[in-house]
């Protein structure tokens, strides 16, 4: 079972299992309907259930919706655009670590989605991961060469690299 955020608490059939993230959950009874509930402060709770036979050997992913994200929108682990939008909201709230998790998953789910890379770059930069920020900002500019913030993002890459632009004659 994978959860976003990774620090979410998982409860199976009313029994706490601990924190989320990638983990294996035993489902010994193929006919029993197992009910999962995943919670984290600042996020809407997520619930999911299925019979043991459906769960055995499968990978379950549950992305919790940040509060204020929109009650009508459900997030899926393969919804790159939704995860990137959630990551952007988390960045605005200065929840950099969780924003990084959501943006990283968004970029994995939708590698050609420019927003996923820009938000992942911003989160990486906020966390002090300079090399990762440069790589993600560069991917964003490559994927969205006409983006209105392209010049600003290129400047961030230049600043992060520590590039010096020496004025030439006549400048």
Each residue's pLDDT tens digit in the chain (171 positions)?
889 999 999 999 999 988 876 677 778 899 999 999 999 999 999 998 999 998 887 888 899 999 999 877 779 999 999 999 999 999 999 999 999 999 999 999 999 999 999 999 999 999 999 999 999 999 999 999 999 999 999 999 999 998 545 455 554
Question: Would you kindly state where each structural domain of the chain is located, as residue ranges?
Answer: 2-63, 80-161
Helices 114-126, 150-161: crossing angle, 10 deg rounding: 40
pTM: 0.88
Answer whether the bond into residue 15 is a cis peptide, omega within 30°: no
Mind spelling out the 3-state secondary structure of 121-146?
Answer: HHHHHHCCCHHHHHHHHHHHHHHCCC
| Domain 80-161: homologous superfamily in CATH | Tetratricopeptide repeat domain (1.25.40.10)
C-alpha pair distances (Å), 63 with each of 22, 39, 163:
12, 10, 38
């Amino acid at each position: 079972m994978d959860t976003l955020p990774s620090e979410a608490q998982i409860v199976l059939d009313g029994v706490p299992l601990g924190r989320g993230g990638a983990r294996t959950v035993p489902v010994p009874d193929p006919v029993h309907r197992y009910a999962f509930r995943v919670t984290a402060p600042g996020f809407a709770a997520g619930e999911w259930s299925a019979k043991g036979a459906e769960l055995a050997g499968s990978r379950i992913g549950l992305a919790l919706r940040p509060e204020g994200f929109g009650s009508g929108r459900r997030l899926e682990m393969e919804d790159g655009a939704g995860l990137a939008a959630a990551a952007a909201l988390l960045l605005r709230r200065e929840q950099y670590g969780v924003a990084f998790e959501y943006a990283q998953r968004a970029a994995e789910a939708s590698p050609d989605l420019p927003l996923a890379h820009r938000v992942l770059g911003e989160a990486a930069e906020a966390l002090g991961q300079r090399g990762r920020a440069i790589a993600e900002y560069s991917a964003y500019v490559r994927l969205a060469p006409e983006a209105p913030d392209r010049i600003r993002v290129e400047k961030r890459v230049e600043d992060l690299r520590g590039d010096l632009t020496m004025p030439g004659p006549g400048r």
